[in-house]
Amino acid sequence: APAPAAAASAPAPAAPAVPAAAAAPSSGDRVIASPLAKRLAAAAQLTLQGVTGTGTGNRITKADVEALVAGRQSAAAAAPAAAAAAASSPAPVATESYTDLPLSNMRKVIASRLLQSKQTIPHYYLSIDVRVDEVLELRQRLNKDADGKFKLSVNDFVIKAAALALKQVPQANSSWHDTFIRQHNTADISVAVATDNGLITPIVTGAEAKGLATIAGDVKALADKARSNKLAPHEYQGGTFTISNLGMFGVKSFSAIINPPQACILAVGGIEKQLVPGEEAPAVANVMTVTLSCDHRVVDGAVGAQWLQAFKKYFETPVKMLL
């Protein structure tokens, strides 16, 4: 809210007299100033040419030079504030060659957090290929038996497997807090959702204890609220682990930026048919590449590898998720 205006009865303080620039220098090109005024001007790298002093016969005094220095400092201090005010409400700029778009508040927050993450978190990356044939078969069977009550996606299985792996390797379910590491007791999975305003990560809380149908319902409801700008703060703040899936766009693999203060984020690629070793002969299998980004301050390489092995175990044997 704007600050209340000052009472009209309070007189404003008189502004100090500031020497004015004359139309022409005093006495031709000669500067009429006291020796002290000249020394102060030289120290401040000020030129007194064209300045009309306030002393006798327009003589430039010490007070005149001090007023000039103060005026220059005030102008310098006001410049950044004016620039910031202009930048706070930019207008779109368009030419034949380009269009400059103003930043939304969400985009500013995203930019700030991603920059903070890449500049302050020692990222490292671990990738593994996971066979998804049994997940695809179980998904098809469960969706068929659901009679429209729910519809499971591959990402629902990813969330469940990730949550169970976090319970098995709790060091990965941790966050960095400068003076301590917090290890979380529940797997609250942040799921990256793309919206018109930018990326947001609503949270499936306690995913390790939820069934696949419940997870699917939660993800759908949260994604709908995210895209319609109706998420409450508690629905996107405070997750313990993030999943970003670009497989539906045909992306084979990628490395995601950690969402601080979390220590890990899982990047999920698309499913491809690959030739894999079989018991008697090579076979064709559906394979998905996942990449785990870790904060090395919290999760050592061996811990990250253990988490990926646990994730792979659950995902390649999805019936274990139902137990």
Report, as residue numbers or ranges, the catalytic residues. Answer: 296, 300
Task: Say how many residues make up the chain.
Answer: 323
| Contact criterion met (CB below 8 Å) for 85 and 61 | no
Q: What distance in Å separates the CA atoms of residue 74 and residue 151, rounded to the nearest whole number?
A: 65
Q: Which stretches within 44-124 are classed as H helix? A: 62-88, 105-120
Q: CA-CA distances (angstroms) from residue 101 to 90, 131, 180, 266, 274?
A: 8, 43, 40, 31, 43
Q: For the chain, what is the total number of helices (H) and then of strands (E)?
A: 7, 14
Question: Residue 258 corresponds to which amino acid?
Answer: I
301-316 and 133-145 are packed helices; what angle lies between their axes, rounded to 10 degrees? Answer: 50
Q: Which stretches within the chain are classed as H helix? A: 35-43, 62-88, 105-120, 133-145, 154-168, 212-227, 301-316
Burial letters 185-218, b for 16+ CB under 10 A, else e: eebbbbbbbeeeeeebbbbbbebbebebebbbbb
Tokens of 108: 């500013």
Residue 199 three-state SS: strand
**Residue partners of 224: CB distance under 8 A and separation at least 6:** none
Q: Is the peptide bond preceding residue 16 cis, with omega within 30 degrees of 0?
A: no
